[in-house]
Amino acid sequence: MSAVADTAENATPSVAGDAVQSAPPTAVPDVAAIARLANALYATPPASPYPGPGAALPSAHVFASEPAYNSVPGTPTLHPPLTPNQNPGRPALPIPESGAAQPSAHVFAAEPASRNPQQIQSAPALASGSPTGPGLDTLELPSFSRSPQNTPSTGAAAPARPMSGAPAPSRSATNELDYAAVPLSLGGTLSLVPEFDDGDLSYGNDTLAGPAYGAASPGNSFAFLDRSTAAPFDPAPKSGNGATPATKSASTPASGTPFAYAYSASPLDVSALDLNALGYQHQPAVAGSPQAISGVRPFDPRAIRRDFPILREQVNGKPLVWLDNGATTQKPQSVIDRLAYYYAHENSNIHRAAHTLAARSTDAYEDARAKVRTFINAPSPESIIFVRGTTEGINLIAKAWGGRNVGEGDEIIVSNLEHHANIVPWQQLAAEKGAIIKVAPVDDSGQIILEEFEKLFTPRTRVASFSQVSNALGTVTPVADMVAIAHRHGAIAIVDGAQSVSHMPIDVQALDADFFVFSGHKMFAPTGIGAVYGRPSILEAMPPWQGGGNMISDVTFEKTTFHGAPARFEAGTGNIADAVGLGAAIDYLSRIGMSNIAAYEHELLEYLTRGLLTVPGLRIIGTATEKAGVASFVLDGWRVEEVGKALAQEGIAVRAGHHCAQPILRRFGLEATVRPSLALYNTTDDVDALIVVLQRLQASRARR
């Protein structure tokens, strides 16, 4: 497809490739005539999903009496119309009253095969100058063939088909689409993701390519970089968010983390990686055989990045490179807009009062709870408790369940990998009750030793609490086997999902966990919100851990009766707005697809690992076969804080410290490491920027 904008004064427009001629007016035409001309200019050719020649996106409306963009029918407008003096750089999208904020919802309401551009209402938008969206007046969209049956409007994976092992050839156009030039409100960045030809489903974003890092250096042992195992594709997820039945190889402990890999985040060294095999040893073992998808909807991190306004920040004069996702993730515009909409249109207390805003707020809050239930495949919304985050969730369990079920001489098992939040509450409980804490060891790669883990259990063991992914090392633990071991010995199993929930599909029923806890801010939701899943039979027997309003059924001076779960555990006014924001974040992730995210991040972590191995004197801490999202390292000749500051000067944000996980770092003889951690919006460019600074540091050290 070619698109050439003819915007010269008095030029004759050509519309949709047909000879629709319009002579220059002899006098100033009326507004309606110019509007009709503009609508013809932006008309879409038949059977084309994009505007025709000259189809620069219309600039924001300048008449204060009319909105900049028409609202989607049946939805309220978030902000009042712009005035002539306002800068319409990024008008907000309307948000449905249901609270179902959609990520990257395209400004065109129709499906891709029948999109029509927004109709202009008056003449000023036809001014011969550039439109409000910079760089869009002469853009041409890359030409990719579209097939309606292979273009799911939901963003879900397309039907499986064989995938080429080689990257797709570079696609060129007269003007390449500049994602940075597209205003956030004009589109939906996911709708800008280029879709591949039917016969070409390999990942081929050549513009994202960084150096193709080679095989591991001698002396470094990273089995996942050099071994691959092919596996069949099971096209039908069996339950929840992509989980599969608990069948596994006897030699590979199951993590309970369903994965499906299909494409590469970068042009890795194909001599070292058999991309046709599509099933690396590094890929986390799942509750079911490893899967390989042979054809899915493309994942374009450039488009994803457009959803995150903070990623356009400059830090120390350099573009922000956010590689501190293990600490917290950035927020997409849809989440930001959903919060603004809540406070503008729904703000009220919940589960009380009969007025309209109370009903809206209650509906939005409970709708978010239902979204959490679906996202982790919990059995019911009543099994989901809102908390401030993982730390508060574990404290709730330790105090409410542990206070009643753990006594003197009883045992609590944690692992050497744990975050302080999964250690300190159990220490407090043990000190109060006279209980004993036991620690499951890890091997030299940072993986749980299952045989040693099971040896810790006795008839006095009451609870085992462990992470699904280590926040310090990135190790993906065999949680399915660990849960099964705990149950076999009569103990309950608690899974800390703070570091897993944004990287992989979660199915708490497939895991068979008694509790699963996570934080919203680590999965693109606001801070101060998280959730606890609890097995319903256990929640029914648990007493409340705090008292106050909202959780009571009846109060007298003699006695108080409590609601059932989850209200029993949500005393007082909760974090209503941020719970709604969590629901919006789940909408965003669900539209992209957690399996797609997992696949992309898997490849990007391999790319990062290869890059780190090119830096002289760099030692990676945590070399387990199964990892997700995190690479932790130390650099010879530099303190970790020096490395962190050097990276910060270049706009690169990483964590340099003990990561609230001192015991596991001390297991490796360290007090601190540098920890870059990945998310769905990171690219090979981010990794390359990190590697360049590290190599520069070592080069400067060699000259000293």
pLDDT above 50 (res 162): no
Torsion angle, CA of 353/356/362/364, rounded to 10 degrees? -170
- We find that the CATH architecture of domain 347-590 is 3-Layer(aba) Sandwich (3.40)
Higher pLDDT, 38 or 555: 555
The predicted structure's pLDDT at residue 420:
96
Structure tokens at 575: 């974090």
In this model, does residue 32 exceed pLDDT 90?
no
Report, as an integer, the average pLDDT of 176-189. 34
Q: Is a pLDDT exceeding 50 seen at residue 504?
A: yes
Of 529 and 31, the one with more pLDDT: 529
- Cα separation, 562 vs 555, whole angstroms: 9
The answer to whether residue 663 scores a pLDDT higher than 60 is yes
Dihedral of the alpha carbons of 516, 521, 523, 526, in degrees to the nearest 10: 120
Which has more confidence, 503 or 41? 503
Mean pLDDT of the chain: 71
Q: Is the pLDDT of residue 198 over 80?
A: no
Indicate the burial class of 138 (C-beta count within 10 angstroms; 0-12, 13-18, 19 or more). middle
For 15, the 3-state DSSP assignment is strand
Please, are residues 429 and 454 in contact by the beta-carbon 8 Å criterion? no
Strands (E), 214-300: 260-261, 291-292
Positions marked active-site: 660
Both tokens assigned to 292:
């390989």
Q: pLDDT confidence of 31, banded at 50, 70, 90?
A: low
Handedness of CA 411, 412, 417, 421 (dihedral sign): negative
Flag whether pLDDT at 494 surpasses 70. Answer: yes
pLDDT of 553 higher than 80: yes
Is the model more confident about 28 or about 673? 673
pLDDT, residue 85, reads 39
Banded model confidence at residue 515, pLDDT cuts 50, 70, 90: very high
59 has pLDDT over 50: no
Cβ–Cβ < 8 Å for 467, 515: no
What tokens were used for 192? 């800008």
What pLDDT score does 666 carry? 95
CA distance 695 to 687: 12
**What pLDDT digit, counting tens, does each position of 322-338 carry?**
999 999 999 999 999 99
Least trusted range by pLDDT, from 290-299, 381-390, 402-411, 679-688: 290-299
Interatomic CA distance for residues 340 and 94, integer angstroms? 11
* pLDDT exceeds 60 at position 176: no
Q: What is the pLDDT of residue 51?
A: 40
pLDDT of 353 reads 85
Task: Tell me the pLDDT band of 33, cut-offs 50, 70 and 90.
Answer: low
State the span(s) of the chain assigned CATH 3.40.640.10.
Answer: 347-590
Q: What is the token pair recorded at 429?
A: 């409980």
Angle between helix 576-592 and helix 594-612 axes, rounded to 10 deg = 80
Least confident of 4-13, 378-387, 507-516: 4-13
Q: How far apart are CA 452 and CA 488, in angstroms?
A: 15
* This prediction's pTM: 0.63
Mean pLDDT check: name the lowest of 260-269, 331-340, 412-421, 609-618. 260-269
- Residue 603: the pLDDT is 95
In this prediction, residue 488 has a pLDDT band, given cuts at 50, 70 and 90, of very high
Helix (H) or strand (E) holding 384: strand 384-387
pLDDT for the residue 70: 36
Q: Please give the share of the chain, as a percent, with pLDDT higher than 90.
A: 53
Task: Tell me the average pLDDT across 654-679.
Answer: 96
Residue 567: predicted pLDDT: 86
d(CA 326, CA 181): 29
